[in-house]
Amino acid sequence: MPNFLVRQLLYGGTPARASDINSETKFALDYWKVPCPETIESLVEQDPDRKICLVDFQQQSQMNPCIKMENIAGSIDHHAIQGNAIITEKPILVDIRPWGSMSSILAHSFAVHEKPLPKSIAGILLSAILSD
């Protein structure tokens, strides 16, 4: 499920998707009236030095080839850190918790940062939690 819009509202970034969306994600986007974001390839092509926050993974093997390791600014995840995790030369934002869904981490971040959670984004997060 999509969580790209949450990054924009919490951290001021530009939402992007890593791949084509599946029917479940399309349903959630349509139901909550959230536009489908651009692909990561498109955003990186527009700005090759764009800073990237990885969401729902931190394994190099899952990273889109268009993302340069030096451009990674953060990782928000709920999966175990294993042998192929990203390695950065500079400190980055890392929020990895043993929770059932990284959407729970993002919803919690809205509360901690005292940011209003729009109904559409709350719906997308709920959809993602149920899907995960």
Closest CA to 29 of 1, 52, 6: 1
Sheet with strand 72-77: strands edge to edge: 52-55, 72-77, 93-96
Query: What does pTM read for this prediction?
Result: 0.84
Instruction: Find out whether 86 and 59 touch, Cβ atoms under 8 Å.
Output: yes
Q: Tell me, what's the pLDDT at 108?
A: 92
Enumerate residues 6+ apart whose C-beta is below 8 A from 17: 2, 4, 36, 37, 38, 39, 40
pLDDT tens sequence for the chain (132 residues): 445 445 556 777 888 998 899 999 999 999 999 999 899 999 999 999 999 999 999 999 999 999 999 999 999 999 999 989 999 999 999 999 999 998 999 899 889 888 888 899 899 999 999 987
> Phi and psi for 17 in degrees, rounded to 5?
-120, 150
**pLDDT value of position 12:** 76
CA dist., res. 71 & res. 127, Å (int): 29
